[in-house]
Amino acid sequence: MEQLKTIGRELAMGSQGGGWTGQSKEFLDLVKSIGEARSKAEEDRIILREIESLRRRIAEPDVPRRRMKEYIIRLVYAEMLGHDASFGYIHAVKMTHDDSLSLKRTGYLAVTLFLSDDHDLIILIVNTIQKDLRSDNYLIVCAALTAACKLINEETIPAVLPQVVDLLAHPKEAVRKKAVMALHRFYQRSPASVSHLISNFRKRLCDNDPGVMGATLCPLFDLITADVNSYKDLVISFVSILKQVAERRLPKAYDYHQMAAPFIQIKLLKILALLGSGDKQASGHIYNVLGDIFRKCESSSNIGNAVLYECICCVSSIYPNAKLLDAAAESTSKFLKACLLFSESHNLKYLGIDALGRLIKINPDVAEEHQLAVIDCLEDPDDTLKRKTFELLYKMTKSTNVEVIVDRMIDYMISINDNHYKTEIASRCVELAEQFAPSNQWFIQFSVSNNFTFQTMNKVFEHAGDLVNVRVAHNLMRLIAEGFGEDDEGADSQLRSSAVNSYLRILGEPKLPSLFLQVICWVLGEYGTADGKYSASYIIGKLCDVTEAHLCNDTVKAYAISAIMKICAFEIAAGRKVEMLPECQSLIDELSASHSTDLQQRAYELQALLCLHSQAVESVIPLDASCEDIEVDRNLSFLDSFVQQSIEKGARPYIPEIERSGMFSVSNYTSQHQHETSSHTLRFEAYELPKPSPTPAAPQISVSTRTTDLVPVPETTYYTENNQASKLQPVLDASSADHGIKLHLVGVQKKWGRPTYSASSSTTSSSEKKTNGVTHLDGVSLQSQGTLYDSKGQQSEKQKLAASLFGASAGKTEKKPTSTQRAPKANTATAERPGVARAVSPEISKQKAASSPPPDLLDLGEPISTTTPTIDPFEQLEGLIGPTPGPSTLDNSVTTSEQKAPDLMALYTDTPPSSSSSISSGLGDLHSADKNSPMAKNVPSIKKGPNPQDSLQKDATARHVGVTPTGNNPNLFRDLLG
Amino acid sequence: MIRAVIVMNTQGKPRLLKFYEFQPPEKQQELTRSVFAGQGALLSGRPDNVSNFVEADAIFGPVIFSSLLFVSFVAEITKKKKQEEFKEGTRLVYKHLATLYFVFVFDSCENELAMLDLIQVLVETLDRCFKNVCELDIVFNFNKMHTILDEIIFGGQVLETSSERVLKAVEEISRLEKSSSSVSFVPKSVSGRFGR
């Protein structure tokens, strides 16, 4: 509001500094009244009034052209504020036809802002553009090129293409440049239409004007991105250009803040990164010039750092070269370390983290050095930086640190409310949990990580349930059902009962995502009563609550009713009586009348199931069989003995289906005959679908007997369709099962099974491992909590975090066996064998740690006594990196900017700051502040250290003052501040 | 490629909108609003002394990611690796000067720090052009600002980075505009002959 008043005041005073000449009083009044508008509604009213008056006046005949120009500008203004000005488009188009440069440019500006490239009016402009591209006045040509760039679509490209190509040889470099760019734009829009002109880009690369050459790099970058191989021959030219640029062979005019044409350098580096990627030979050419740039590039200016960063990207992309990688790592650490000293440092931190992410792909050890810097970034108030850091962590996730990282991610995920990013981070969590947890063969790790995966998924579901994929839910169910696979039945059941416990607890929450509810219902149905802790009626009651309390969709209801059915089945099978809760009965009644046939069927199935005999129920819904493959024994061999018995007792033998289809309605008197000729079957239905099984030829006689009582055609087709059902029929008949149920059987089992899963392996339990798995489960999960939340001071917590993130590499420096080495050892050694001290010791330490203040989870290899008291590497690290940005650095920045607040432009051009006094005072501040901090003893080591802190400090001041003119720089925007 | 240039004041009112891919006016407003105060509190929610970069996939990016979620996991991982190379990764760089935000939106083909300097070039040029630029200058002369911007960025690509040369070009344009507009007082039949 403040500056709006200022606008008003200035207008009142009539001060027209800066010269907004040419506009009428009316436009000034409009802007003024909008500026003074108290609310959005008022502003809208003003603009609508304005638009109305414009609509009237613009349609008047014989509007003077100067006046028309202003109307058009006012229209553009109105549209920028979000109001429709489409009635004026045609006038803007008309204005492009004007001869006056000023009006033509205004017209072009308006149409480029108003029209999309498929607007109907474009066709009226194409002709004008064509004409203007041939104009003698290069400014008109430029204006036309700008418009062409924005407005020409795929269909109209051929209309202007010849002219644009001609302009590539225009004497004015400004025109050539724009022509190249316009051609590039055409290429972006429709690669096919300009494909024959691509050689022009190569030609323009040799343009004697560096600006045109620089412009050509843009299309070449796109072309090379699309197809690297056909441009390999240009590597040497690009390298030589880059070399010339870096050696300042370009005219002085191309310097920017003491850098030689930095934008051209950046573009060239990007191109070389593409060309050198995975190509040893091409990379060989590049090494030299990259080294030069690393040496020469000064990191004192913003743009210098931009070039440096691009160099790092290039180095990490091309075929690796040890020397360059070192240089890149050094620059990266400069970004990251410098940031602890600069106040205006977040940009560099951001780039440093990004560069680190690129470098660790090649050499994972790089990150080790920057542990604390990374963790600082993780706790930074800057959201962008945080996300970048999470990206880095995501890239460096290993099986050793996956827990800590995913925990962090989930905490962050819960804290943000940006759905897009929430989704992204949720799927990353799940992906990491899946990717790393099950792959570890070490059984303790295995059970822990499975448990961990489970918890992770729960959290992800709870907080981002609507955003994750159904697939994830199925995976979670499979995880619970399959458990740990082969050898750990005990841990399985523990996981399951803990799942049931936590889900019952979670059900108390007011609002749960539907997908999560499905998982909960399924788990409760499968395992709710498995450990005997909860009664069936309790679980059923809960499930009924689910369908009522949570406004859920049909899918959840289906899951719930199926779960109820399963629990009932388990109860019946166990010989217990199922008393029907009233709410359950009402649920069944409700669903039986549901619009969804699926729900109806399930409800009826449940009702039918309740009437069944316990044995039948047990075979229909076996206990904990969700992982079993549903083997369809088409021969029903398991019934052989039963059939034999029945036959011996005088029952009718089984009649194959084909015969039966004819037999079924045939009256009894033929049955005797049929027995005798059972091998001879009859085919009297001429139009039946062909069967795979060969049918023996039917004897003529039986045909004649049967044609008398012919089976109706529809009935026959019914039997062929229900192949499966009719096969089952005699069996069920024999076993005296309820006739109504048998058809449901097939469908039901399909629904309960895991339709998407492949075959699971059978589970065999190994007892010796089981016991260990169980005992370690709790201890370790406790510990992981402790790692994060048990804080013994900020710094130690950070160190712990660092250790857990970079655990493996930190362990290496302390000459402890890394976890990767440990894992196979533990694998080979049985846990009981005392001889293998290394492998067992982590477990022991963990067991101890469960009660005592925990060391890091992942520093498994270290006995406790060594970990806590002396962790030298971290202190050394602190020494290297220097103090964290505290109030002292902030003070420093403030004092410098206050002392140095002359004109912005003057400042921007002078690099090394002259006010050394402020720096020294700043340093003094730094030191005094640090005396209190635990790191005080390390400060001297900074001075001795490799990076000259003074110069960095100077850089900081220069950067701060030069790069961000804030409110403290009064000269810019002085008139506003009064 | 640079996808958009947005200048707005600290209340989120647009002062200059230039999208290098066409966006209908409503969409422009929506984008501007969400840049200013979108999900996760963009510019308006960012404290001072933090980086000038914001990831803006959620606002601008084609939402490739959510569609990816519906592919099976194995396919997803391979696809994601592929995607990493062609990732859109829309970001924005902003600069807060006095009462204005200068925002450049661009994709992964540009260098963030370089974009920050490009904003600097723009501001420098404006400052030279208007002699101590203020928000008011930009409001009243947004067509001139468009001219300046057209000299710096062309079709989404960086065209010129020297504020001197931009200034020279702009001055040339306004000189010729003036001379041609003086001609335009002459009846059209005559100006047609002298036009160019």
Token couple for A695: 């049918």
A154 in reach of chain B (CB within 8 A): no
Q: Say how far apart CA B115 and CA B2 lie, in whole Å.
A: 9
Token couple for A871: 């962790």
Q: How many CA atoms lie within 13 A of A502 on its CB side?
A: 16
Q: Say how far apart CA A557 and CA A548 lie, in whole Å.
A: 9
To which residue do tokens 């950067």 refer? A959
Q: Do B54 and A976 touch (CB under 8 A)?
A: no
As a three-state string, the secondary structure of A400-457 is: CCHHHHHHHHHHHHHHCCCHHHHHHHHHHHHHHHHHHCCCCCCHHHHHHHHHHHHHHH
Residue A764: per-residue pLDDT: 38
**Among A138, A54, A53, A65, which Cα is nearest to A107's?**
A65
Q: In a 3-state reduction of DSSP, which class is residue B45? A: helix
User: How many CB atoms are located within 10 Å of the residue A620 CB?
Assistant: 22
Residue type for A90, please? Answer: I
Long-range contact list for A912-918, CB < 8 A, 24+ apart? A912/A300, A912/A954, A912/A958, A913/A954, A913/A957, A913/A958, A913/A961, A915/A957, A916/A954, A918/A892, A918/A957
Which parts of chain B have pLDDT scores under 70? 38-41, 61-88, 180-196
Residue of B122, B132, B138 for testing the chain A interface, max A β-carbons within 10 Å: B132
Residues 559-588 (A) with a CB less than 8 A from some CB of B: none
| Chain A residues near residue B148 by CB distance under 8 angstroms | none
Instruction: Determine the distance from the C-alpha atom of residue A679 to the mean position of all C-alpha atoms in its chain, rounded to a whole number.
Output: 65
Which of A79, A263, A309 shows the shortest C-beta gap to B25?
A79
Residues 86-105 (A) with a CB less than 8 A from some CB of B: 99-103, 105
Q: Where are the alpha helices (DSSP H) in A81-206?
A: 89-96, 101-114, 122-133, 138-151, 157-167, 173-189, 198-204
Residue type for A941, please? Answer: S
Nearest CA in chain A to B192: A99
Residue B42: per-residue pLDDT: 72
First to last CA, chain A: 15
* DSSP symbols for A519-556: HHHHHHHHHTTTTSSS-HHHHHHHHHHHHHHS---HHH
Q: What value of ipTM does the predicted structure carry? A: 0.82
Min distance B185 CA to chain A CA atoms (Å): 9
Min distance A10 CA to chain B CA atoms (Å): 9
To which residue do tokens 């217990």 refer? A576
CA dihedral for A476, A478, A481, A485, sign (positive or negative): negative
Q: Say how far apart CA A404 and CA A774 lie, in whole Å.
A: 22
Token couple for A594: 């549901």
Residue A108: per-residue pLDDT: 92
> Average pLDDT by consecutive 10-residue portion of chain A (978 residues)?
46 40 71 79 88 88 84 88 87 88 90 87 89 90 91 87 90 90 88 83 85 89 86 89 87 82 90 88 88 81 86 89 85 72 70 86 79 80 82 79 76 72 73 59 36 57 57 66 58 70 72 73 78 77 76 77 82 75 81 83 83 74 62 71 84 74 50 47 53 48 40 40 43 41 40 41 40 40 41 62 60 39 40 41 44 41 40 44 42 42 41 40 41 42 45 51 40 40
Q: Say how far apart CA B61 and CA B111 lie, in whole Å.
A: 17
Residue A179: per-residue pLDDT: 92
Min distance A597 CA to chain B CA atoms (Å): 27
Q: Do B133 and A27 touch (CB under 8 A)?
A: no
Q: How far is CA A972 from CA A20, A845, B103, in A?
A: 18, 63, 18
Residue type for A938, please? Answer: N
Residue A949: per-residue pLDDT: 57
Which of B98, B160, B176 shows the shortest C-beta gap to A976?
B98
Token couple for A52: 């109305």
| Chain A residues near residue B67 by CB distance under 8 angstroms | none
Angle of helix A280-296 relative to helix A322-338, nearest 10 degrees? 40
User: How many CB atoms are located within 10 Å of the residue A815 CB?
Assistant: 6
CB pairs under 8 A between A and B: 274
**Among B115, B180, B136, which Cα is nearest to A310's?**
B115
Name the CA dihedral angle for A219, A220, A224, A226, rounded to a multiple of 10 degrees. 20
* DSSP symbols for A640-704: HHHHHHHHHTTPPPP--HHHHHHHTTS-GGGHHHHHHTTTS-----TTPPPPSSPPPPPPHHHHH
- Residues written for chain B: 196
Min distance B104 CA to chain A CA atoms (Å): 15
**Among B176, B135, B117, which Cα is nearest to A104's?**
B176
Token couple for A457: 């998924």
Q: Say how far apart CA A372 and CA A378 lie, in whole Å.
A: 10
| Chain A residues near residue B99 by CB distance under 8 angstroms | 3, 973, 976
User: How many CB atoms are located within 10 Å of the residue A695 CB?
Assistant: 13
Neighbouring-strand partners of residue B7: B16, B102
Residue type for A74, please? Answer: R
Min distance B61 CA to chain A CA atoms (Å): 11
| Chain A residues near residue B97 by CB distance under 8 angstroms | 965-966, 972-973
First to last CA, chain B: 34
Q: Do B181 and A469 touch (CB under 8 A)?
A: no
Contact A361, A397 (CB under 8 A): no
Min distance B23 CA to chain A CA atoms (Å): 8
Q: How far is CA A239 from CA A256, A274, A482, in A?
A: 21, 13, 57
Which of B124, B136, B177 shows the shortest C-beta gap to A10?
B136
